[in-house]
Amino acid sequence: MNNILVIRNDKLGDFIQAWPAFAMLKASNPSLKLTALVPAYTSPLAEICPYLDSIIIDSKKDDKADFRRLLNEIKNHHFDGLISFFSNTHNAKLAWKSGIKYRLAPATKFVQFFYNHRLTQRRSRSEKSEAEYNQDLVRAFLKKQNMPIVEVKPPYLTFDKSALENQRVFLSQTLGISTNKKWIFVHSGSGGSATNLSLPQYAELIQGLLTEFDCNAVLTAGPGESEKAHELAQLVNDSRVAIYDKNHGLVDFAHSLACADLFIAGSTGPLHLSSAFNVPTVGFYPNSRSSQPRRWKPINDADKHLAFCPPAGKNTQMNLGLISIKAALTSIIPFVRRIWQAGN
């Protein structure tokens, strides 16, 4: 069992949540060759993932010809085993038709029968984080193969010191921010998430932090979110605020996030990507079982993440507008002070 296909072909944040599992596979058995099935848009990050040896680009949705291309490409690799961290009908059908003898996935509804090895996890109960569920799958695989289980810890992605220094100089010159100050990155966009703080809430949060700390606030924005970032900057109305809404792709964006001294966002892909570098994070979540902080906590050290959500209740759990920023700041300010005094 040396040549393994690992599947995590959904959103950016979900993909990052699988990195501790990839790391555990490699740490436990460095001879394993890991190939990841990923969508095209996360493939640049997959290519720089230190635990993956190669990647395969997923087929386009509802494109039968491209599905056949994908299936043939998988068959040509002659994989010994497959671990699907995300099991839907597409992945289950692909696993079954691939002819791979060992196929492991979470026991999820009817599609579980396309796999000959399954692990009951009850992810819908949200008793663990996504990363922990992914690692449990790896532990089951390693135990079945009589391989040692080596536990791993953050960071799960690092860049050369010189590359980060160059990126920091570039951002300083491009955004007009000081390299002698701490940088707080704030991502107010929601991406694929259903809910987030309002811009006035983010503005109140940034103003509170800038009152307490002489730092720079960098407002990040994804595709189609630039206007929102500019509106937020106007609400904050502070010369220490800069807008970072242009980059040279996902890897370049990752280099910038690695320069952050603190990252603040809703439960979005950029929050999880920042945590891969063990950057301190503050996240705002709904209070529903499937979206709460325990289920989607980032993969940085536990003491480097702070989470907030609205009160529990049928009519309140999804309303992040009920989160009191004034109350949140009473926890965030000491958290930031502790992290920065410890040297981040």
| 343 has a pLDDT exceeding 70 | yes
| 13 has a pLDDT exceeding 60 | yes
Tens digits of residue pLDDT in 227-262: 999 999 999 999 999 999 999 999 999 999 999 999
Quote the pLDDT of residue 109: 78
Pairing mode, if any, of strands 241-244 and 117-119?
unpaired
Tens digits of residue pLDDT in 14-33: 999 999 999 999 999 999 99
| 83 has a pLDDT exceeding 80 | yes
Quote the pLDDT of residue 276: 98
Give 344's pLDDT tier (boundaries 50, 70, 90).
Answer: low
Tens digits of residue pLDDT in 129-182: 999 999 999 999 999 999 999 999 999 999 999 999 999 999 999 999 999 999
Question: Domain map of the chain by residue range?
Answer: 3-144, 161-341
- Report d(CA 283, CA 308) in Å as an integer: 6
| 7 has a pLDDT exceeding 80 | yes
Average pLDDT in the 294-304 region? Answer: 96
Give 315's pLDDT tier (boundaries 50, 70, 90).
Answer: confident
Quote the pLDDT of residue 220: 97
Residue type, 24: M
Supply 159's token pair: 């860049």
CA diameter of the chain: 60
- 3-144 and 161-341 agree in CATH topology: yes
Strands of 22-66, DSSP E: 33-38, 54-57
Tens digits of residue pLDDT in 86-118: 989 999 999 999 999 999 999 987 899 999 999
* Cβ–Cβ < 8 Å for 296, 267: yes
Fold held by 161-341: Rossmann fold (3.40.50)
Give 314's pLDDT tier (boundaries 50, 70, 90).
Answer: confident
Tens digits of residue pLDDT in 176-211: 999 999 999 999 987 755 589 999 999 999 999 999
- DSSP-assigned letters across all residues of 220-236: E--TT-HHHHHHHHHHH
Quote the pLDDT of residue 223: 87
- φ/ψ (deg, to 5) at 304: -110, 15
| Percent of the chain residues topping a pLDDT of 70 | 99
Quote the pLDDT of residue 192: 59
Strands of the chain, DSSP E: 3-7, 33-38, 54-57, 81-84, 102-106, 117-119, 183-187, 216-220, 241-244, 262-266, 281-284, 305-308
Quote the pLDDT of residue 295: 94
- Report d(CA 294, CA 276) in Å as an integer: 17
Superfamily of domain 3-144: Glycogen Phosphorylase B; (3.40.50.2000)
- Of the candidates 41, 52, 64, 68, the one whose C-alpha atom is nearest the C-alpha of residue 7 is 52
**Which residue's entry shows tokens 């230190």?**
50
- DSSP-assigned letters across all residues of 269-315: HHHHHHHHTT--EEEE---STTTSTTTT--SS-GGGEEEE-PPPSTT
DSSP 42: G
For the chain, the 3-state helix, strand and coil shares in percent, each to the nearest 5, are 45, 15, 40
- Stated pTM of the model: 0.95
